[in-house]
């Protein structure tokens, strides 16, 4: 399994998503999570171990403020964004991860209510910017899908065997790839790709 497959298998569980949602607000210890999610501590620990095994969360020991034994608090260590695009002729799934700095102290420090209002305003501005980027991305993905749909029609008309259609489609879909790289990604010999792509590139040069 690659990184994306592993991550999707971890976060497909709604309980683990709720645990992550709680941890990004502030570090929690298992009893807190048990009460908040309405699950047994044993069940919570099972999910925490899975998240920790995949390096999505970490933990630290904290002395009890009531004189009892120390307890472990859990916090997120890895942020990620998963993007899946599906459309006519288009399938793309990718993940981007980034480390989250360890936060052992709660609270926002100095600043009080005024600082909170400033942060709230800035968060609203960021959300608007992200919404604009999302809309722009949706338009670009739609344009890309339309172009790939046209590629599919051309390929289906001009190429009559499955392997040739696949080679041409991947060639158009990945303009950054050289023919040797394309051959490797498809598990084909270089000459097989050259036989299909060579005439296409020759036609482009003639034009």
Is residue 179 in some structural domain? no
Q: Is residue 172 part of a domain?
A: no
Cβ atoms 175, 147 nearer than 8 A: no
Q: Is residue 206 part of a domain?
A: no
Q: What distances in angstroms separate CA 150 from CA 41, 73, 122, 155, one per listed residue?
A: 55, 54, 42, 9
Residue range 32-91, pLDDT digits in tens: 999 999 999 999 999 999 999 999 999 999 887 766 778 899 999 999 999 999 988 888
Domain extent for 16: 3-106
CB atoms inside a 10 Å sphere around CB 85:
15
Confirm whether 171 is domain-assigned: no
* pTM > 0.85: yes or no: no
Q: Between the CA of residue 153 and those of 21, 159, 174, 197, what are the distances in Å? A: 44, 10, 18, 17
Question: Which helix (H) or strand (E) element contains residue 45?
Answer: helix 41-53
In a domain, 122, yes or no: no
CATH code for position 39: 1.10.10.10
Percentage of the chain beyond pLDDT 90 is 75
Residue 106 is predicted with a pLDDT of 47
Residue 130 lies in a domain: no
Instruction: Grade residue 110 by pLDDT with cuts at 50, 70 and 90.
Output: low
Total structural domains within the chain: 1
Does residue 158 sit within a domain? no
Asked if the structure places residue 187 within a domain, the reply is: no
For the chain, what is the radius of gyration of the CA atoms? 25
Contact 157, 187 (CB under 8 A): no
Closest among 73, 35, 33 to 52, alpha carbons compared: 73
């Amino acid at each position: 399994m690659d990184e994306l497959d592993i991550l999707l298998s971890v976060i497909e569980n709604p309980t683990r998503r709720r645990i992550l949602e709680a941890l990004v607000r502030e570090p929690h210890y298992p009893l807190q999570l048990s009460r908040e999610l309405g699950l047994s501590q044993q069940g919570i620990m099972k999910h925490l171990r899975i998240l920790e095994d995949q390096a999505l969360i970490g933990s630290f020991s904290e002395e009890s403020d009531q004189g009892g034994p120390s307890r472990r608090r859990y916090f997120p260590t890895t942020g990620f964004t998963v993007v899946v695009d599906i459309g006519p002729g288009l399938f793309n799934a990718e993940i981007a991860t980034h480390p989250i700095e360890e936060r052992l102290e709660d609270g926002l420090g100095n600043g009080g209510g005024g600082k909170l209002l400033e942060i709230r305003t800035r968060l609203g501005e960021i959300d608007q910017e992200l919404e604009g980027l999302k809309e722009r991305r949706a338009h670009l993905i739609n344009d890309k899908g339309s172009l790939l749909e046209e590629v599919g029609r051309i390929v289906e008309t001009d190429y009559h065997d499955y392997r040739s259609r696949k080679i041409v489609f991947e060639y158009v879909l990945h303009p950054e790839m050289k023919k040797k790289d394309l051959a490797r990604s498809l598990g084909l010999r270089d000459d097989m790709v050259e036989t299909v792509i060579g005439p296409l590139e020759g036609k482009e040069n003639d034009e």
